[in-house]
């Protein structure tokens, strides 16, 4: 038996149990936030986007909508902190990471895990296809080393010329994230996952 098989089974059980508990505990948030989103701006409550996941399979990732309706048609898919498409409530949801909570459903379904490389849109993956063939042998996740390291990514991009945001992200930020993803592949294990989850919670509280 592959020595990582028990870890993979434990990881999946952890994901199922805690994503279900999380959805139940967050039920009040799933009632209040949609109301705030609808009051703040027109458009759907949830934002769904096709992402690349394990074994290059496509799946729809869910978030609370934080941008104006049809924002994807009116600008780049990479956003900076001062992007005018971000709604008032959207700024709060992004800062607190509450917009990511619907991904608990992705975890419960098995599209994602709590810990793993972030799933990307196809355009980003194709820029580094060889690297991501290795990285996406495992389920993508809500958080990982790269998520922690680039917790203020939007603020970094805010300092860039709006016309260069996508180019800078692909040429400068994404290669660094790829190296951190590979670091996780080498170190992944149950204790590593717990450490990353705790660091992520600490970063959210501090930030």
Residue 171 has pLDDT above 90, yes or no: no
Report the mean per-residue pLDDT for the chain.
90
Q: What is the pLDDT of residue 145?
A: 97
What is d(CA 118, CA 61) in angstroms, rounded to the nearest whole number?
Answer: 11
Residue 193 has pLDDT above 60, yes or no: yes
Q: Which pLDDT band holds residue 1 (cuts at 50, 70, 90)?
A: very low
Determine what percent of the chain is predicted with pLDDT higher than 90: 73
Q: What is the pLDDT of residue 76?
A: 67
120 vs 155, which has greater pLDDT? Answer: 120
Q: What is the mean pLDDT of residues 27-55?
A: 95
| Segment 84-112, tens digit of pLDDT | 889 999 999 998 999 999 999 999 999 99
Q: At what angle do helices 27-40 and 5-25 cross, to 10 degrees?
A: 60
The two most distant CA atoms of the chain are separated, in Å, by 54
Task: State how far the alpha carbon of 49 is from the alpha carbons of 62, 85, 120, in Å.
Answer: 7, 17, 10
Q: Which pLDDT band holds residue 184 (cuts at 50, 70, 90)?
A: very high
């Amino acid at each position: 038996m592959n020595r990582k098989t028990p870890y993979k089974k434990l990881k999946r059980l952890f994901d199922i149990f805690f994503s279900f508990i999380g959805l139940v505990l967050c039920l009040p948030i799933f009632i209040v936030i949609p109301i705030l989103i609808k009051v703040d701006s027109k458009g759907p409550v949830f934002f769904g986007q096709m992402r690349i996941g394990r074994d290059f399979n496509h799946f729809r990732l869910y978030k609370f909508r934080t941008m104006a309706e049809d924002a994807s048609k009116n600008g780049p898919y990479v956003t900076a902190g001062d992007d005018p498409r971000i709604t008032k409530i959207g700024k709060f949801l992004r800062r607190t990471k509450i917009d990511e909570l619907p991904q608990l459903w992705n975890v419960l379904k098995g599209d994602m895990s709590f810990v793993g490389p972030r799933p990307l849109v196809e355009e980003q993956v194709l820029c580094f296809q060889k690297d991501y063939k290795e990285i996406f042998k495992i389920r993508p996740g809500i958080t990982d080393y790269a998520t922690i390291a680039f917790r203020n990514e939007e603020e970094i991009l805010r300092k860039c010329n709006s016309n260069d945001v996508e180019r800078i992200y692909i040429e400068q930020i994404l290669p660094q994230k790829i190296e951190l993803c590979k670091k996780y592949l080498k170190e992944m294990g149950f204790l590593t996952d717990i450490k990353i989850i705790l660091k992520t919670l600490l970063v959210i509280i501090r930030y």
